[in-house]
Structure 1
Amino acid sequence: MGRKGWTWRQLEASLPENQMKSIFKAFDTNGDGKLSRKELKVCLKKFGMSFAGFRAWHAIRHIDANGDGMIGEDEIKELIKYASKWGIIVTP
Structure 2
Amino acid sequence: MPCWIRPIQNLAIPLSELQLKGILKTYDSDGDGKLSREELRSAFKSLGLHFSGWRARRAVGHADRNGDGVISEEEMGELVKYAASKWGFTIA
- Higher normalized contact order (CA 8 Å, seq sep 6+, divided by chain length): 1
More strand by share: 2
CA offsets per residue over residues 52-85 of structure 1, 9 Å max, x none? 0000001100110000000000000001101111
The residue number in structure 1 matching 2:20 is 20
% same residue:
48
Aligned-pair distance for 1:14?
A: 3.8
Q: Is 1:59 equivalent to 2:59 in the alignment? A: yes
More helix by share: 1
The residue number in structure 1 matching 2:50 is 50
* Runs of 4 or more consecutive aligned structure 1 residues displaced over 3 Å after TM superposition: none
Normalised to the residue count of structure 1, the TM-score between the two structures is 0.82
> Which runs of 5 or more residues in structure 2 are unaligned?
1-5
Q: CA RMSD in A?
A: 1.7
Aligned-pair distance for 1:13?
A: 4.1
Normalised to the residue count of structure 2, the TM-score between the two structures is 0.82
For the residues of structure 2 that align with 1:90 and 1:33, how far apart are their CA atoms?
Answer: 24
For the residues of structure 2 that align with 1:86 and 1:45, how far apart are their CA atoms?
Answer: 13
